Structure 1
Amino acid sequence: MRHSLLPPLAACLIGIGFAAAGCSDADDPTPSTPAASPATPTDAGDGLPIDATAEVSDWEDCPYLDTQWVADTNGQRMTRWGVDKRFGTPACVFWSYPEDPQATVLIRQMPSVEEARAVVDWAAPVEDTELAEFDGWSGGRGVFEDHSVFAVQKDNHAVVVWSNQLQTLKPQLIAQEAIKRLGL
């Protein structure tokens, strides 16, 4: 007489299935919606405070501005330059003969429009500067005791340029060139 192993095997598999189901935690159902994906670095900004300034970490060329173009635009010979890579888009710092930089360029991609505005308000306070607007960008421009500033914001981007020249046209031209070259 022949015996088939199929019925006992099927019963065994069914029993294992029930045992495994009995060991699961019924109070912890599998979520029906997928988990949210983590925010990309561009969504979170660079993680630096609104008032972060450039601190040169690498003595290399600015990736979005030509050094000689900056020297010609700001009106001073260039003696050294470097970048701060803590920012999502590296900050660029340019020197001439004085100890302080002749120009500093910050490009900030912030988590929100409000934070981008806060960067501009920190760099070019409304009470101390004049309105600066072009091509959908808005912010301030001003001359202070030993420098000038041009700071503008559009969407969640903020662009700030300081110059040791006491006229706002020079940092404005540098900011506009950076915006153009970066496609902002």
Structure 2
Amino acid sequence: MRNILLPATALLTAALGGACLAACTPQGPAEPAHLGQQGASASTAAPAESADAAVDGFPVDTPAAATLWEPCPYVDSQWLAETNGQKVTQVGQDTRFGTPACVFWSYPEAPQATIMVRNLGSVERARAAVDWAAPIEQTEPVEEDGWSGGRGVLGPEQAVYAVQKDSVAVLVWTNQQQTIKAQQIAQEAIANLGL
């Protein structure tokens, strides 16, 4: 009897584990807190062909939505865990952009960090992306090594560091209240990508 129950239990466990894996895997990053309902629809909509479309065909305010469950090609998961102070349990990429956006999760449902590096085709569009990520009225200005933008705490569990140089914008959100962590992540991405 024991030999019959063991395979049946193993099959049931595997089936339930597979169902949980499909249902429990994060489907994408939470939208920046200041986006509200408008941001939720932007991540699922097809690229908009409009005046504010970037080189990649997406508007400057397109949030990242992880679609490929692979390590980030320009920020190491262990480095990010040590920098942000949380274990990394899952990493996803949004490959719609020229440089994939990277989304890192820990145990909470919302991502612990999201990194977007976008070539937006013009300085004006890069500034618009920074203003979207780090709203001027909620952040402090940043000027560092030719990069300019903003940093701030957008909510109880969200800090942002967003900068642009020429037509490139680097946008980083973390679930921490310290903007220094978002800044360090942005600087790591900039250094590793040679920007």
TM-score above 0.5:
yes
- 1:61 positional shift: 0.6
The structure with the larger Rg is 1
- 1:94 positional shift: 0.1
**Corresponding position: 1:172 with 2:177:** no
Query: In the comparison of the two structures, how many residue pairs are matched?
Result: 141
Q: Kindly provide the amino acid, as one letter, of the partner of residue 58 in structure 1.
A: L
- 1:133 positional shift: 1.7
Distance in 1, matches of 2:142 and 2:106, equals 27
**Corresponding position: 1:80 with 2:86:** no
**Corresponding position: 1:157 with 2:159:** no
Distance in 1, matches of 2:71 and 2:145, equals 28
Structure 1 portions without partners, runs of 5+: 1-43
TM-score by length of 2: 0.71
Structure 2 portions without partners, runs of 5+: 1-53
CA-based RMSD: 0.8
CA deviations on 1:75-130 (whole Å, 9 max, x unpaired) are 00111111000011000000000000000000010111000000000000111100
Higher helix share: 2
CA deviations on 1:125-181 (whole Å, 9 max, x unpaired) are 111100112100000000021200000000000000000001100000000000001
Pick one of 122, 125, 133 that aligns with 2:135: 125
Percentage identity across paired residues of the two chains: 65
Matches within 5 A, 1:28-177: 45-145=55-155, 146-177=157-188
- 1:45 positional shift: 1.5
Give the ranges of 4+ consecutive aligned residues of structure 1 lying more than 6 Å apart after TM superposition.
none
TM-score by length of 1: 0.75
